[in-house]
Amino acid sequence: MGRRAGQGTAFDPGDVLMKIVVDAEKCQGHARCYALSPELFSVDDYGQSSVNGDGTVPTELEGKAELAIANCPEFAIAIVDD
């Protein structure tokens, strides 16, 4: 396994970056993830969440991603392996 991004002196494409997904079937529209981390999530008019971009989390936002995961009452957000 590679090292986490941000360790060492230079970014290496082999670095391990966190990637998240939202399970649309589990999401009930509480939008807590968006409230905690609008940089990582979007919501529609009903509060249904989705990840921004492809779900890759910049190293500096990993704490916010983990906070969003911990605060989702439906357990709809997960970290995925690529």
Instruction: Tell me what pLDDT residue 15 has.
Output: 67
- Does the global pTM surpass 0.75? yes
Domains along the chain with CATH numbers: 18-79 (3.30.70.20)
Tokens at 55, concatenated? 């779900």
One-letter amino acid at 64 equals: K
Q: Comparing C-alpha atoms, which of 23, 3, 4, 19 is closest to residue 57?
A: 19
Instruction: Tell me what pLDDT residue 14 has.
Output: 54
Give the span between the Cα atoms of 49 and 2, in whole angstroms.
30
Local confidence pLDDT in tens for the 82 residues of the chain: 333 444 444 545 556 799 999 999 999 999 999 999 999 999 999 999 999 999 999 999 999 999 999 999 999 999 998 6
